[in-house]
Each structure stands twice: as structure tokens, then as C-alpha cells.
């Protein structure tokens, strides 16, 4: 039952975000913020596919224990693509609110993203092993969480200041995604049921993508 429900959910998720991303790229015309948003959605879906497709195959065939390497490799790739996702979201913020200066902020974003990716590349993560060290899971997610927090603050302040109703909940989608993700990092290995939080986390990312899509539908007529 788990295999059917989870596989169906993941398939709907991947098809939805990638399709929405492609539509945004094609229909955004001269609005570069929505074209960026489209690429952001495609990268989100494509990156997650490297982990979710092997997981679906494992659940529907011989089990997760027989897919350790593909699943580990998928998590590795997803960790990098999610970092790129937040860098692109930062640029969506810059373009939507016409931010011209604040180059120091951009340096911080790139610095956190580079640190996150560098930590993900370290062999101590043991991505292809059945037992990845919890400590390294925490290390690599510290700059990631700081990057997310920065983007949360930027969207919250800008949307409130400019009374941007279309993006007024963008900050909340990111809060929810991290709120569901952090317990998985910390406790999923010892309490497997915690892994179910990845479902509402995924829904939060779909909400993020839909905010951009509906804003484009309204503003690009």
C-alpha cells in the first residue's frame, strides 16, 4: 500500500512542478522574474527526480535496501539542486522588487550556497552508504538553513512593505518546508515515521511554485 500511495504522490508532484515550470518559461515573455521562477520549478522537479524515481522503483520491487547507491546518489544531487533553487529564488526577489544594490547580500547568498555545496561534496557524508553520519547531515544543512532564513526574511519584509498580495505567503511556504525538513534530518534514522514529514514538505514546495504561476497568470496578460 505504501508503495502505491507514495509512488502515485511522487509522480503527481514531479509531473506537476516540471510542467508548471516549463509553462512559466514558455509564457513569461518579457517578465524575467517568472522565467527564473520557471527554471526554479524545473530544477526543483528534475533534482528531486534523481531521488524519488529510484525510491519508487525500490518500493515497488525489491525494497530500499537493494537501492542504497542510487538513493544515496539521488540525495546528493537533490542537495545540490535545492541549493540552486534558493539562489534562483533570491534572484526572483531581486527582480520582483527591483533591487538594484545590496551587492553584499548577494555575496552572502553565494557564500552560503558555496559552503553548502562544498559540504555536500565531502566524502565524510557517505552518501552511498546505508549509514550516513548524522553529524555531517547537520553540518551541511547549517548554511542551507541560513540561506533559507535569509530568503524568508527578504520576502516577508518586501511583500509586506510593498503590499504584494500575490507573494504575501511566499515566506510561509519556505518556513513550512524547513519546518518539516529539519526533523527528518535529525530523527528520521531513529524514528522512520518522521520521514512522512517529507510529504507536507513537498506540498509546501508545490505551494511555492503555484504562487509564482498564479502571479504570472495575473500579471502577464
Exposure of 163 in the CB half-sphere (CA atoms within 13 A):
0
Summarised one tens digit per residue, pLDDT across range 129-183 is: 877 888 999 999 999 999 999 999 999 999 999 999 999 999 999 999 999 999 9
CATH number at residue 125: 1.20.1070.10
Q: Is the pLDDT reported for residue 4 higher than 90?
A: no
Rounded to whole angstroms, how far apart are CA atoms 201 and 199?
Answer: 5
Alpha-carbon gap, residue 113 to 92, rounded angstroms: 16
129 conformational bin, left if phi > 0, alpha if psi -120 to 50, beta if neither: beta
What is the pLDDT at residue 64? 73
The number of distinct structural domains making up the chain is 1
Confidence band of 5 (pLDDT split at 50, 70, 90): confident
Q: Residue 209: which region, alpha, beta or left (left: phi > 0; alpha: psi -120 to 50)?
A: alpha
> Which residue range(s) make up the domain with 70?
2-219
Checking if the pLDDT of 221 tops 70, the result is: no
Cα separation, 90 vs 111, whole angstroms: 13
pLDDT band at 3 (very low <50, low <70, confident <90, very high): confident
For 27-66, what is each residue's pLDDT tens digit? 887 678 999 999 999 999 999 999 999 988 888 887 777 8
Chain center to CA of 72? 17
Amino acid at each position: 500500500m505504501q508503495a502505491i500511495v507514495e509512488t502515485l504522490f511522487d509522480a503527481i508532484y514531479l509531473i506537476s512542478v516540471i510542467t508548471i515550470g516549463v509553462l512559466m518559461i514558455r509564457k513569461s515573455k518579457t517578465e524575467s522574474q517568472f522565467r527564473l521562477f520557471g527554471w526554479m520549478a524545473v530544477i526543483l522537479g528534475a533534482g528531486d527526480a534523481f531521488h524519488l524515481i529510484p525510491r519508487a522503483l525500490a518500493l515497488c520491487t525489491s525494497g530500499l535496501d537493494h537501492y542504497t547507491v542510487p538513493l544515496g546518489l539521488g540525495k546528493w544531487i537533490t542537495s545540490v539542486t535545492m541549493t540552486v533553487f534558493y539562489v534562483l529564488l533570491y534572484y526572483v526577489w531581486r527582480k520582483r522588487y527591483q533591487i538594484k544594490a545590496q551587492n553584499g547580500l548577494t555575496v552572502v547568498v553565494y557564500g552560503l550556497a558555496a559552503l553548502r555545496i562544498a559540504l555536500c561534496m565531502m566524502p565524510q557524508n557517505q552518501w552511498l552508504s546505508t549509514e550516513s553520519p548524522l553529524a555531517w547531515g547537520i553540518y551541511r544543512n547549517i548554511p542551507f538553513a541560513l540561506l533559507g532564513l535569509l530568503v524568508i526574511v527578504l520576502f516577508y519584509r518586501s511583500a509586506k512593505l510593498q503590499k504584494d498580495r500575490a507573494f504575501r505567503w511566499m515566506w510561509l511556504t519556505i518556513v513550512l518546508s524547513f519546518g518539516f525538513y529539519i526533523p527528518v534530518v535529525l530523527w528520521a534514522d531513529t524514528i522512520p515515521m518522521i520521514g512522512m514529514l517529507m510529504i507536507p514538505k513537498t506540498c509546501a514546495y508545490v505551494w511555492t511554485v503555484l504562487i509564482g504561476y498564479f502571479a504570472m497568470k495575473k500579471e502577464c496578460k
